[in-house]
Amino acid sequence: MRHKLLTAAALAFTLSSQTVFAEDTTILEIAWFKLLPGTQETRFIEGAQHVQDKFLPRFDGRIYRELLSQEGGDYWIDSIHWRSVGDFEKAAAEILTDPDGAPIMELIDPSTMAWFHADRVRHWQGGDVPQGDGYTELQVFRLVAPGSEIEFLTPTTDVEFLASAEAIQEQLAAQSGFVDRELFRTTDGWWLDLVHWHSHEAAEAAKAVVMADMADMQSAAMGFVSKIDPKSLKTFGMNQKRVW
């Protein structure tokens, strides 16, 4: 998963329908990137609104779109939930060259951009996604694989990982300010763990509970974390800017 702008041809790779995850056809299209130096946030948000009003209405299958900015950092995330990979591919094939995509694409530093899509595997919903004032945590990672350089970690399977994700979900859902959580997987083995909170404060309070629980090696938190390859882990804490 390289940090670079993908061509439309490279972007439109096909997801397999033969996996055990095919029962949920929801697709997450996600791009994270930095803006070109000197770009004003207001101008970028105006460009994102132009794409929302003039480009995306041509395509069916959108569930919702979310624009996020990194807490204490320079990265942005623009993500769309689609009902199927076909809906996503139609838009992805045109956004790079369409004039109505330019108001956002011309403001992004292409050398910082990662753009891809993933299948939704699990969804735990506790409420509606906050409309522009919430906080989102995103973790991107691979699972511990055979031959790992970290000796104390044990290789795991997708099934074992999902069981650990279910176990820790009970703890997350019990925290004040939890909204919803989704797990996505790409065809080449990257996982995305996306959690919505009502506020940054709620997310930090929940993180403190999970970290304290990790003192117990048999805890649900430790069982979940031990299945993730720490060298692959990328973590984003994001403030919502706009939800459509």
The proportion of the chain whose per-residue pLDDT surpasses 90, expressed as a percent, equals 55
d(CA 212, CA 175): 14
Of 47-56, 129-138, 141-150, 205-214, least confident by mean pLDDT is 141-150
- How much is the pLDDT for 23? 58
Sign of CA dihedral 148, 151, 153, 154: positive
Residue 28 to residue 144: CA distance in whole angstroms: 23
Measured CA to CA, the distance from residue 195 to residue 183 in angstroms comes to 9
Between 147 and 11, whose confidence is greater?
147
Average pLDDT, the chain: 84
Q: What gap in Å lies between CA 222 and CA 101, rounded to an integer?
A: 43
Cα 122 → chain centroid: 13
Region 198-212: mean pLDDT is 90
CA–CA separation, 47 and 187 (whole Å): 31
Global pTM exceeds 0.85? no
Residue 18 in this model has a pLDDT that exceeds 50? no
Indicate if the pLDDT at residue 22 is higher than 60. no
- Please state, in angstroms and rounded to a whole number, the distance separating the CA atoms of residues 37 and 83: 35
Complete DSSP assignment for the chain: --SSPPPHHHHTPPPPSSSTTTT---EEEEEEE-BPTT--HHHHHHHHHHIIIIIGGGSS-EEEEEEEEETTSS-EEEEEEESSHHHHHHHHHHHTT-GGGHHHHTTB-GGG-EEEEEEEEEEEESSPPPSSS-EEEEEEE-B--TT-S-TTPPP--HHHHHHHHHHHHHHHHTSTTEEEEEEEE-TTS-EEEEEEES-HHHHHHHHHHHHHHTTSTTSHHHHHHTTB-TTT-EEEEEEEEEE-
Helix axes 158-173, 200-213, angle to 10 degrees: 120
pLDDT band at 125 (very low <50, low <70, confident <90, very high): confident
pLDDT of residue 85: 84
pLDDT of 167: 92
Place of tokens 């790409």: 186
pLDDT value at residue 99:
93
> Cα 173 to chain center, whole Å?
19
Q: What is the mean pLDDT of residues 33-37?
A: 95
Mean per-residue pLDDT, 203-231 = 88
Domains assigned to the chain: 8-243 (3.30.70.100)
Contacts of 148 (CB under 8 A, 6+ apart): 155, 229
